[in-house]
């Protein structure tokens, strides 16, 4: 299945606030659709599915991409839920979003795909590129690239940069200090339910 490109507020009304998906808000409180006001108790499967969908829509992943990250997180030693977040937060598009280069992860992905971002001085146009500690995330030495990022930085939504990143405002460079901590994640999610959802696959 391809990446979702439909109405974003429809998703946030159903799943709650997703910082990486959209900055827009709505006054509507009900869930979308004909049965939005249905107060039927959700099943255990339904709860796990919604947590999985939060992760998928927030980071802009396809189903197969998310499953690959789950498998990789299981393979590594440590707490699977935290490792999953660390893998997703070390994606180049997510780091650009966290640094304020774009207002959403989808916007950050577009900036990367269009060749505005460098890693350690080399141009990288792959949004899923896995950054590592001590990597330097910079902007292409081109006026159009710098103007674009400057404009986005002025309207960035989140004032605080996560503790695992550092940003130099004069050089427009970010540095990855370490892997993220659980408290740095903006998304309100129970990652254990996502792991449980995929436990039978």
Of 119 and 22, the one with more pLDDT:
119
Domains of the chain: 8-87+187-197 (1.10.1050.10), 91-178 (3.10.290.10)
Average pLDDT over residues 107-126: 92
Closest listed residue to residue 97, CA positions, set 196, 46, 190, 167: 167
The answer to whether the beta carbons of residues 142 and 148 sit under 8 Å apart is: no
Q: Report the pLDDT value the prediction gives residue 72, as an integer from 0 to 100.
A: 94
Q: What is the pTM of this model?
A: 0.84
In SS3 terms, 47-92 reads as HHHHHHHHHHHHHCCCHHHHHHHHHHHHHCCCCHHHHHHHHHHCEH
Per-residue pLDDT averaged across 1-26, rounded?
A: 69
Q: Cα–Cα distance between 8 and 24 in angstroms, integer?
A: 8
90-105 tens-digit pLDDT? 999 999 998 888 888 8
Angle between helical axes of 44-59 and 8-15 (0-180°, round to 10): 140
The model's confidence at residue 1, banded by pLDDT at 50, 70 and 90, is: very low
DSSP state of 104: S
pLDDT for 75-85, tens place per residue? 999 899 999 99
Gap between the Cα atoms of 160 and 148, Å rounded: 21
pLDDT tens-digit map of 137-156? 999 888 888 888 888 887 76
């Amino acid at each position: 299945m391809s990446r979702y490109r439909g109405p974003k507020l429809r998703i946030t009304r159903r799943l709650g606030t997703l910082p990486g998906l959209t900055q827009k808000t709505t006054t509507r409180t009900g869930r979308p659709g004909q049965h939005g006001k249905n107060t039927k108790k959700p099943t255990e499967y339904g709860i796990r599915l919604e947590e999985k969908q939060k992760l998928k829509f927030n980071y802009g992943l396809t189903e197969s991409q998310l499953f690959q990250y789950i498998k990789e997180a299981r393979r590594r030693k440590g707490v699977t839920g935290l490792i999953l977040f660390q893998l997703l937060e070390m994606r180049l598009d997510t780091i650009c979003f966290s640094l304020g280069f774009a207002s959403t992860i989808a916007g950050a992905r577009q900036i990367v795909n269009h060749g505005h971002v460098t890693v350690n001085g080399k141009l990288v146009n792959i949004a899923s590129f896995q950054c590592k500690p001590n990597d330097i995330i910079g902007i292409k030495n081109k006026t159009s690239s710098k103007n674009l990022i400057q404009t986005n930085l002025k309207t960035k939504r989140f004032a605080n940069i996560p503790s695992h990143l550092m940003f130099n405002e004069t050089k427009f460079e970010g540095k990855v200090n370490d892997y993220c901590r659980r408290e740095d994640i903006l998304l309100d999610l129970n990652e254990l339910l996502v792991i449980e959802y995929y436990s039978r696959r």
